[in-house]
Structure 1
Amino acid sequence: MPPVATRTVTYPADGLTMIGHLALPAGSGPRPAVLLGPEGPGLNDVQRRRADALAELGYVALAFDLHGGHWFTDPEEMLARVGPLLADPDRLRDIGHGALDVVRDEPRTDPGRIAAVGYGTGGAVAVELGRAGVDLRAIGTVNGLVTGRPGEARNIRCPVWAGVGSEDPIMAPEQRNAFTAEMQDAGLDWRLVVYGGALHAFHHPTVDQTVLPGVGHHPQHAERAWRDVVDLLAECLPVTE
């Protein structure tokens, strides 16, 4: 199979110049597309490889940026940036819409077949796009179980899948219960997978950065969560020739 094609894309969002990673599948026809959101520290090679893996499966995939090309190694600096973002749905939507514009403008994209999947803060962006009424085929969020403004979940027009570690102190039981209650009250098709024994960011390999308490990699559950994401896309956004 021919290798996927990748390129760096720049675009405006949240008052910054974002630097994303676009991966295109082999072939020439239109394909379904996936917005892929990174964890709070930002876009790095972990998310770029995820986008490449989705392109190998036949998707146009954009690993989008959160911080204008910056990747945080200091957790306090990261929280100072991410905290206000998570508290402001309009800023999350702006980040998501900026990435969405890039994907929609890509000639290989089938504009009627787009999904949004994210991890942590990137997952919150994905869900917020749904609350904004964007026409998505699927939403997936891992550890990004952030509730929205009252009633806006009713604007979501597709299935929602969520994953979280059972021992995650940041997305604690009361937080995930509030999120799932929001999904249920909105009458959505939603699912939650709780990965036993996993901490926050269990899906992200250990890298050269200071790690907050309650954060830790769980290789087995990381693989399972990835398979669950791929299964969600296969169900809601199948690749057809």
Structure 2
Amino acid sequence: MKTKIIGLVFVIVVAVGVYGFSLRQTAHTPVSSEGDDDAQKLADVADDTDQENVIYYKTITGYLATPHGTGPHPAIILIHEWWGLNDDIKDLAQRYADAGYVALTVDLYNGQNTTDPAVAQKFAGEVRGSTEEAFNNLRGAVEYLRARPDVDGDRLASVGWCFGGGWSYQMAVGNLGTKASVMYYGQFDPHDDFVHMRSAILGHFGEKDASIKVDNVREFQAQLKTASGAHEVYVYPNVGHGFANARGGTNVAYSAEAADQAWERTMIFLTETLK
């Protein structure tokens, strides 16, 4: 088992929790585009994948991106930020599909999304008030993927950002059927039961994130050492909350260097854990 902490975090916690994780986020408002170069990159990725809207749980519609080829492929459940299921998360689904994964973006807001932080906080609070339905939503995503002939149901992972990072963590500690769970600056509870957890965890945190305390990260690291599995936790120096989101607000939090490093580590982690 390898658990790594890189860098030092000086942070102040934002404490609105549910099952040990917060549903608040730093307010980085999405913008619509990154310019011609990024648009061309996304178009190139889309050419190598297939995309469609699918109903995966009750009447809830998610966005599915699949790699070319019959498979069966490993699959990723992508969990959106507190803005909801938007084009940012769909672009990420295409990127994961281009890397060889069937990528399903779930929708915990039942078709709603926003660019207004106050509305996003309201949406997140509604999920906080109905956590069992959110868990059922994620279980539905697992069942949907396992039923697909192009998916290897034994090789499932979750990836989430911010609000979604906390839910990706919950998929791990709740043993919802994933072998790997990646959390980008998502909240956690270092006192959870990690001994019986069957999913490996990869955590990405920013040194200057104002919503996660360094002491909690260190305690998280220590508790993960009690669990079996190749758990890894990284803290990226001189970056804050939302560092991996190229479309976040005015992009002051975005760090291409940290985002690229986190992506590379995620690819290695998923390859190793979804063998």
Tell me if TM exceeds 0.5.
yes
Which residue of structure 2 lines up, in the alignment, with residue 38 of structure 1? 80
Offset at residue 170 of structure 1 (A):
1.1
Return the letter of the residue paired with 2:243: F
Deviations 1:119-140 (A, max 9, x none): 1122222221222223322111
Return the letter of the residue paired with 1:199: G
Q: Is the 8 A contact 2:160 2:184 kept in 1?
A: yes
Any idea what SS the aligned residue of 2:195 has? helix
Unaligned 5+ segments in structure 1 are none
Offset at residue 92 of structure 1 (A):
4.2
- Select which of 215, 226, 235 maps to 1:174: 215
Counterparts of 1:121-136 in structure 2 under 5 Å? 121-136=163-178
Which residue of structure 1 lines up, in the alignment, with residue 65 of structure 2? 23
Offset at residue 194 of structure 1 (A):
0.6
1:216 aligns with 2:253: yes
Deviations 1:2-58 (A, max 9, x none): 731111012447xxx433111111111311111111212122222212211221222
Offset at residue 84 of structure 1 (A):
5.6
CA distance in structure 2 between the partners assigned to 1:197 and 1:18 by the alignment: 38
- Select which of 197, 204, 208 maps to 1:156: 197
CA 1:87–1:192: 2 relative to 1, 3 Å = farther
Q: Percent identical across equivalent pairs?
A: 27
Which residue of structure 2 lines up, in the alignment, with residue 94 of structure 1? 136
Offset at residue 206 of structure 1 (A):
3.2
Cα RMSD of the aligned pairs, angstroms, is: 2.7
Which residue of structure 1 lines up, in the alignment, with residue 162 of structure 2? 120
The total of aligned residue pairs comes to 230
Any idea what SS the aligned residue of 1:113 has? strand
1:193 aligns with 2:230: no
Deviations 1:158-197 (A, max 9, x none): 3211000000001231342343344234455321111111
CA distance in structure 2 between the partners assigned to 1:135 and 1:85 by the alignment: 21
Return the letter of the residue paired with 2:210: P
Which residue of structure 1 lines up, in the alignment, with residue 35 of structure 2? none
- Select which of 112, 116, 121 maps to 1:70: 112
1:147 aligns with 2:189: yes
Unaligned 5+ segments in structure 2 are 1-44
CA distance in structure 2 between the partners assigned to 1:149 and 1:89 by the alignment: 19
Q: Is the 8 A contact 1:22 1:62 kept in 2?
A: yes
Which residue of structure 2 lines up, in the alignment, with residue 230 of structure 1? 267
Answer 1 or 2: higher relative contact order, Cα 8 Å, separation at least 6: 2
Any idea what SS the aligned residue of 1:93 has? helix
CA 1:230–1:188: 2 relative to 1, 3 Å = closer
1:137 aligns with 2:163: no
Which residue of structure 2 lines up, in the alignment, with residue 56 of structure 1? 98
TM normalised by structure 1 equals 0.83
CA 1:91–1:121: 2 relative to 1, 3 Å = farther
Which residue of structure 1 lines up, in the alignment, with residue 11 of structure 2? none
CA 1:187–1:112: 2 relative to 1, 3 Å = closer
TM normalised by structure 2 equals 0.74
Q: Is the 8 A contact 2:65 2:94 kept in 1?
A: yes
Q: Is the 8 A contact 1:73 1:210 kept in 2?
A: no
Any idea what SS the aligned residue of 2:225 has? helix
